[in-house]
Structure 1
Amino acid sequence: MEWSTDILGADFQSCTLETEGADGAVRRATLVRYRPGREDAATAPDGTGSRNHDAGPGAVLFLHGWSDYFFNVELAQFWARQGYEFYALDMHNHGRNLDSRTVGGYVADLSDYDTEINQALALVRDTATGGGNGNLALMGHSTGGLVAALWARRHPGIVQSLILNSPWLEMHGSSIGRLATQAMVAPLARLRPEMVLRLPERGFYFRSISVTAEGEWPLDERYRPPFAFPVRAGWLKAVLAGHSQVARGLGLEIPVLVLTSAASANGMVWQESMRRSDAVLDVDVIAMRAMALGRSVTLERIEGGLHDVFLSAPEVRADAYARLARWIKGYMTDDTTPARSIGDE
């Protein structure tokens, strides 16, 4: 596997993964790893100033949301300070894998991501210091959080911790809205799975985070479009099926942390409240569904948080990072259970 300097600069490397799914399709994903050339002694988002050498060896793999890619350097630096090696996966049809032949964001079944996640985790074990014996965590944002939770349900014992940042666990309106949408989408997804559904375009979340608008984050619009990808019938059916699984309960045995904003802001016009709330999901519904994930679920609601709480205003994400650091100390650093390899399933 050949690693090369990533688009994020010299401290990041990436490699291309080609995997064949259960359906026989070959898909391309990109694994990114953080390899700082020097010890990062800058002030951390959680207020600390250096790597936590007391933390046990381990690694974390991050999954981005829909229409997204990995770009949050600060998140990688945070995990490094906790003593964990950081990896991120741009999943197929997203981010670094986009070209003229790809259907942006499309997946017909969320389990189609399994083979690339499995291969990425195998590489993490091979390349991370202590990765084969340390605590292996999976972290996901939004749709990536849904993917991560469902993957953990299908592959018990491989990761020891699950961290979900505003995971998309349910539709607005809870199960009522989901069931109505499923009834509408099912025949379209069966006959024309890549059919684009005509839905309103809302770029409010992008507006709140992009440095080209009113945010502070430099987003590459080749990898993260302002209005997201077109919603296709087959993709929406796959997401709704995932929501149904969560609603029935996943029964995860590993500790789970769910972080969300404390409030949602919805609507077809920009509101100033969207600067300090989740403009994508209904956080009250997500908080309720989080309790169906497993036996040990911690819910942290971040006052003033955006849809990605780690892209919020500096003082808000400092709070989010402090809460994450506290959870790591309580649930991850003392875990000495040997990790299973992908081949041990």
Structure 2
Amino acid sequence: MTAETTETAETTGTALPPQDATSRLSLADVLSHPMGKSVHDLSFGPDLLGPGYGAHTLVLGDDPDGETPGRPVVTTLVRHLPTGVADDAWRTRPALLFVHGMTDFFFQTHVAEHFHALGYAVYGLDLRKCGRSHRPGQTWHHVSSQSIYDEDLTVALSLLAAGHPSVIPVGHSTGGLDVTMWVARLHRAATDGDAARARLYAAVRAVVLNSPWLDLQFDAVTNAVIRHIFPTVARFAPDWHVPGGIDPSYGRTLHVEEYGEWDYDRTYKPLYPRPKKVSWLVGVSREIDKLHTGGFATGVPTLLLCSDRHSGGGRPGADGAAAPDPDAFLTDTVLKPDQMRAAAHLVDPHCDVRTVPGAMHDVFLSGPEVRAAAFRAADAWLAALP
């Protein structure tokens, strides 16, 4: 292992893939030769999710935000490929690419195994500075513009499109916003005659959004501050940490050591929010505002899954003194589903919205009966794709 990977393993407490499971591939490489390299050309090393899962680290290049100069950012492609799957059969499966949200990473083995059983090739992507892709000296989950993730997503798309007949990105929360705007930018570029991006866009069969972040969910005063004051603050003090963050009660409804049923690495998805720079929040706000100007439709069949309602999450129990409010297990405690439904036509005029009553923020992490309903909705929609 190199000094970099040794340091990262010690920092995260999680073993990283061996160096032969690492390759260099940038956006410039992909645009000069779309689908020139296939995911099947990659070597996948052992992954923290155990047997049937592998990871490949893609070295992208310098960080546009200038953190850790001289040390490139990476994105990590995770593959679910159980033993016994014939190579020819694997190559004919359409690919699902799961893209996580803020302060998150790909860990949902039950989701991977569900869609694998339906005949999909399942992959997850840990975006730069997130989860498996975080490196020492980097600010967790930080980008000053959400469009920076276009590189991670486009590189992954090119690899998957070269190895599978089609690709369906599945974006959750902030990842839902990122997937929407990335596919929409590919769509616009293709329409404008960009041959490389047109070829890549043609491989996107559909888009699935799992509780996407499509509007600022705060009160009117806070939204005004974010949109009109924070951009000036970010210009002069981009590293200033904004107060607040995810209500810890959300994590307490999820993790098996709290009140949930899911066992995941809390280094990668912590219970309490990590500090966020004002430049990050301004970047998210600007991306949302772009969506709301219109003209950023995905142009492909799009499904939006969300809960029926939002709740505050039970902050009185967030200090560990009491369990989260029972409503926290039956609602989206992070974002507001009514905003998602209201903005769905901006994602695409034909966006199909499926409300899942009783769902949590990640609809596939809801209680057993509710997530079964979420799977049924997604399964039926995917099966009906042309």
Given the alignment, which residue of 306, 311, 317 partners 1:265?
A: 311
Deviation digits for residues 39-90 of structure 1, max 9, x if unmatched?
7xxxxxxxxxxxxx9xx83111110010000000111112212211011100
Alignment partner, residue 28 of structure 2: none
What is the number of equivalent residue pairs in this alignment? Answer: 312
Contact 1:105/1:229, CA 8 A, preserved across alignment: no
Q: 1:301-316 maps to which residues of 2 (within 5 A)?
A: 301-316=355-370
C-alpha distance in structure 1 between counterparts of 2:280 and 2:65, whole Å: 18
Please report the TM-score for the alignment, with normalisation by the length of structure 2: 0.76
Deviation digits for residues 247-270 of structure 1, max 9, x if unmatched?
122222101100001111116434
Contact 1:21/1:115, CA 8 A, preserved across alignment: no
State whether structure 2 residue 60 is matched by structure 1 residue 19.
Answer: yes
Cα drift, residue 100 of structure 1: 2.9
Given the alignment, which residue of 141, 152, 166 partners 1:105?
A: 141
Runs of 4 or more above 6 Å deviation: none
Alignment partner, residue 154 of structure 1: 185
Alignment partner, residue 339 of structure 1: none
State whether structure 2 residue 195 is matched by structure 1 residue 164.
Answer: no
- Residue type of the partner of 2:138? T
Q: 1:183-198 maps to which residues of 2 (within 5 A)?
A: 183-198=228-243
Q: 1:1-345 maps to which residues of 2 (within 5 A)?
A: 1-20=42-61, 23=64, 26-38=72-84, 57-126=93-162, 128=163, 131=164, 134-156=165-187, 157-158=201-202, 159-172=204-217, 178-199=223-244, 202-249=247-294, 250-266=296-312, 268-269=315-316, 270-331=324-385, 334=386
Alignment partner, residue 34 of structure 2: none
Contact 2:310/2:331, CA 8 A, preserved across alignment: yes
- Residue type of the partner of 1:303? P
2:284 aligned counterpart, secondary structure = helix
C-alpha distance in structure 2 between counterparts of 1:9 and 1:330, whole Å: 33
- Residue type of the partner of 1:248? T
C-alpha distance in structure 2 between counterparts of 1:200 and 1:61, whole Å: 27
Tell me, which stretches of 5 or more residues in structure 1 are unaligned?
40-52, 335-345
Please report the TM-score for the alignment, with normalisation by the length of structure 1: 0.85
1:155 aligned counterpart, secondary structure = helix
From the two aligned structures, give the one with the greater helix fraction.
2
- Residue type of the partner of 1:17? L
C-alpha distance in structure 1 between counterparts of 2:297 and 2:155, whole Å: 24
Which structure ranks higher in relative contact order (CA pairs < 8 Å, sequence separation ≥ 6)? Answer: 1
Structure 1 pair 142–200 and aligned structure 2 pair: CA distance change class (3 A): closer
Cα drift, residue 22 of structure 1: 8.9
C-alpha distance in structure 1 between counterparts of 2:349 and 2:219, whole Å: 21
Tell me, which stretches of 5 or more residues in structure 2 are unaligned?
1-41, 67-71, 188-200, 317-323
Cα drift, residue 277 of structure 1: 0.4
Cα drift, residue 92 of structure 1: 0.7
- Residue type of the partner of 1:140? G
1:289 aligned counterpart, secondary structure = helix
Which of the two has higher C-alpha Rg? 2
Structure 1 pair 201–141 and aligned structure 2 pair: CA distance change class (3 A): closer
C-alpha distance in structure 2 between counterparts of 1:95 and 1:256, whole Å: 27
C-alpha distance in structure 1 between counterparts of 2:335 and 2:130, whole Å: 21
Contact 2:63/2:73, CA 8 A, preserved across alignment: no
- Residue type of the partner of 2:128? H
Provide the identity percentage: 29
C-alpha distance in structure 1 between counterparts of 2:100 and 2:140, whole Å: 14
Contact 2:206/2:302, CA 8 A, preserved across alignment: yes
Contact 1:21/1:112, CA 8 A, preserved across alignment: no
- Residue type of the partner of 1:291? H
C-alpha distance in structure 1 between counterparts of 2:265 and 2:65, whole Å: 32
C-alpha distance in structure 2 between counterparts of 1:144 and 1:118, whole Å: 14
The root-mean-square deviation of aligned C-alpha atoms, in Å, is: 2.1
